[in-house]
Amino acid sequence: MSDDKKTLMPEYIQAVSQLGLKIKLIEDAEAAGDTAVAYDEWRAKSGRKQMPGILKCFGQRPDFLRHVMAFSNTVHFSEGHLSRRYKEMIASYVSYLNRCPY
Amino acid sequence: MNQEPAVTTKIKIVEDADATGEVAEAYDYWRAGSGRSKVPGILKSLSARPDFLKQAVDFSNTIQFSDGHLSRRHKEMIGSYASYLNSCPYCLDSHAFFLKTQGASDEAVAAFMAGDLEKAGLSNAELALMNYVELVTKAAYRTTPEDVEKLRRAGWKEEQIAEAVYIIALFAMFNRIANAFGVPVQNHVAMGKLTS
């Protein structure tokens, strides 16, 4: 991590980041079978190429990954009883409290 | 016909009898899939978003209420212990009961209810898994590569460890929902049967 990046990051983020990857993710390039299909579905919908790490965590159960993408869109990535803006406030603060820099 | 006792939750939920429109439809969706008639409190907690409720029913069946990389029995162990650690009496009762339906002894169920796993008659591999449940539940950010290596040494495969994390996280979610709403305990374990 570069020094100027470090100054932007609170200590807890640096500490968590240093632990690195602990359980193997299924990376974009090695995805096969239904995992590759589920990754492609996300790429087609999002218009992005590289799977985000949080979704690659679900690579071992592509059927569950599809559920996660669907319910996240339903309840988080959209307006509901709460605005998307308030949802992102909640998510940011919960992530801070749970020490999740990602 | 017996009158149901009035149940007060901290946040309002839609009761079976009051459900209309999309909520009634989502409740019926669960009833049709489960063959049960009274919707459990944890699902009624989702009544503010019936679309999400239906998705929750589906993804719970996919990842929890079925064998996967882990057996249903090991999933119920994870769910029970995570619920104990998160102090969620509703989910602990519910999943310790499911653990019993998966072949666990009365002693093992009592040990999970008390969070006293030394008395649960678990194998060393199962104890290692439960120790990991505790680490992730209390502070996932503090887990280390060595913690995961211990699971591998105990014989758990990478995809089983991954699935264990999904289950632990699933309970982090449902434990918080049940406790924030204040869903009353169903007493499945005490009654020895499903009470709803």
Interval B22-44: pLDDT, tens: 999 999 999 999 999 999 999 99
Residue B7 in tokens: 């149940």
Distance CA B45, CA B36 (A): 17
* Phi and psi, residue B112, nearest 5°: -65, -40
Look at residue B3 in the predicted model and tell me its pLDDT. Answer: 53
What pLDDT was estimated at residue A14? 74
What tens digit of pLDDT does each residue of B68-107 get?
999 999 999 999 999 999 999 999 999 999 999 999 999 9
Per-residue pLDDT at B4: 55
- Alpha-carbon distances, residue B62 vs A24, A68, B30, B49, B68 (angstroms): 22, 11, 14, 20, 9
What was the pLDDT predicted at B6?
59
Sign of the torsion formed by the C-alpha atoms of B101, B107, B110 and B115: negative
Phi, psi of B172 (to 5 degrees): -55, -40
User: Is residue A15 pLDDT above 80, yes or no?
Assistant: no
Place of tokens 């699935």: B163
CA B166 from chain center: how many Å? 12
A84 in reach of chain B (CB within 8 A)? no
Q: In angstroms, how far is CA A52 from the centroid of its own chain?
A: 5
B25 touches chain A (CB under 8 A): no
Every domain of chain A and the residues it spans: 24-97
Binned at pLDDT 50, 70 and 90, residue A2 comes out as low
Residue of A nearest to B51 (CA): A74
Cross-chain residue pair B145–A20, CB shorter than 8 Å: yes
Residue B136 buriedness (CB in 10 A; 0-12 / 13-18 / 19+): buried
Instruction: Say how far apart CA B157 and CA B44 lie, in whole Å.
Output: 36
As given in the structure block, the two tokens for residue B70 are 């882990």
A91 vs A10, more confident: A91
d(CA B99, CA A76): 32
CATH code, B72-191: 1.20.1290.10
Return the structure tokens found at A11. Answer: 């200590």
Degrees to nearest 5, angle at CA B49 with A44 and B176: 100
CB pair distance less than 8 Å for A75 and B139: no
**How does residue B1 score in pLDDT terms, banded at 50, 70 and 90?**
very low
Angle of helix B145-153 relative to helix B124-139, nearest 10 degrees, comes to 160
Give residue limits of the domains in chain B: 16-63, 72-191
Cα–Cα distances (Å) from A82 to A76, B53, B58, B87, in that order, read 9, 17, 24, 28
Shortest distance, CA A4 to any CA of chain B (angstroms): 24
pLDDT digits 0-9 by tens, A41-84: 999 999 999 999 999 999 999 999 999 999 999 999 999 999 99
Chain B contact present for A43, CB below 8 A: no
pLDDT class for A13, splitting at 50, 70, 90?
confident
pLDDT at A8: 62
Beta carbons within 10 angstroms of residue A80's beta carbon: 15
Quick one: pLDDT at residue A65? Answer: 98
